[in-house]
Amino acid sequence: MAKLNKTYNILIRFAILVFTFYFLYEQLFYKHDLSSFLKSIEAVTRAKNFWVLSVIIVLLLPVNLLLESRKWQFLMQKLERVSMMGAFKAILAGISVSVFLPNRVGDYLGRVFILKKADRLQATLATILGSMAQLLTTILFGLTSVAFFLDHWINQSGSLNRWAFAGLLFSIIMVSAILVFAFLNFSVFSVLLKKISGRAYNKIEHYAEVFSWYSAHELFYILAISVLRYLVFSMQFFLLLEIFQIPIGYLHAMMVIGFIYLLMSIIPTIALSEIGVRGSVSLYAFGLFFGTTIPEALDGQIVAASSALWLLNLALPALSGLFFIFRLRFFRNNKSHEH
């Protein structure tokens, strides 16, 4: 049985390797024309501060990944002791697996299969809790962006419009407060699940209890790391806008970026297809800022900036994660599994 498990592990790892390379090749060299992107890069290399900004953007990549690694390591400490390096490898492996699976679900699979003893379903639920913190952060910044754009969407010349504006603004504030309160008190979910499921709770108790492991203080810590991560990759996006000479200040850029990420979070997509979706969403969001139409000269630069961010934060880590795919154990001996 052990020999059979080893064979299955090797086959699955090899399949992930093939699929990841295939999807990267298809997206980069088949579905998308990289020549226009490379021309855009060549055009801005002579711009002022190009190399300084580029170095800062690249240095922010490991910061982004290390923050996510720390968040996952912290969540896993209830299940299994994971080193920071182990968590870092798990994050990269998760990105590699996620590139050909819908809505980044591979992030969970790639991470939990690096664990040696922990219950994988419990680990997946804890990992989802971390993803919820990141999604909540995206929603909060996105709703702030929506509040910013309300003034563009609603003409406040009339009394009725002013009341509508105030009502929507109040709703955004209330929804944000409720979402934060609900997340920080997520342990209550285990209690609610127990009451709803009744006698069936005994069958799921082993997994439902995961949500009661983390206190409000610990969840706040997870949320704080998520906010820091958001600020890091948003700064990368802003600096890329600077490199590609998009005339927009930091505050306005953060509002547009927040709206882009909000839209991206609600659009079902395979991670690798985001290079096309991200460009379209970016054009739409910047169209709201600049007016009904984006100046033609900026069209290509905006797409190039969003594509560069995708290449840096997804494609590059996905390739790096392939080095750690062979650490994943999809099948393991029962004696190594502890409940």
The residues, ordered by sequence, that sit 6+ positions from 225 with a Cβ below 8 Å of its Cβ are: 67, 68, 70, 71, 74, 133
Task: State the alpha helices, DSSP H only, in the chain.
Answer: 2-25, 34-44, 50-76, 84-98, 106-112, 120-153, 159-184, 188-197, 201-208, 216-243, 250-266, 274-290, 296-310, 316-321
Can you give the pLDDT at residue 135? 93
The mean of the pLDDT values for the chain is: 81
Can you give the pLDDT at residue 303? 83
Give pTM, 2 decimals.
0.85
Q: Indicate whether 271 pLDDT > 60.
A: no
**Interval 216-270: pLDDT, tens:** 999 999 999 999 999 999 999 999 999 988 888 899 999 999 999 998 888 766 5
**Interval 148-158: pLDDT, tens:** 888 777 776 77
Q: Please report which confidence band the pLDDT of residue 203 belongs to, taking 50, 70 and 90 as the band edges.
A: confident
The total of structural domains in the chain comes to: 1
**3-class SS string, 97-130:** HHCCCECCCHHHHHHHCCCCCCCHHHHHHHHHHH
Q: Indicate whether 122 pLDDT > 70.
A: yes
Q: Tell me which residue range forms the domain holding 59.
A: 2-336
Q: Which residues pair with 270 in a beta bridge?
A: 102
Query: Which is nearest to 228 in space by CA: 55, 68, 76, 82?
Result: 68
Q: Please report which confidence band the pLDDT of residue 336 belongs to, taking 50, 70 and 90 as the band edges.
A: very low
Can you give the pLDDT at residue 167? 87
Distance from C-alpha of 339 to C-alpha of 120, rounded to nearest angstrom: 10
Q: Indicate whether 74 pLDDT > 70.
A: yes
DSSP letter (8 states) at residue 247: -
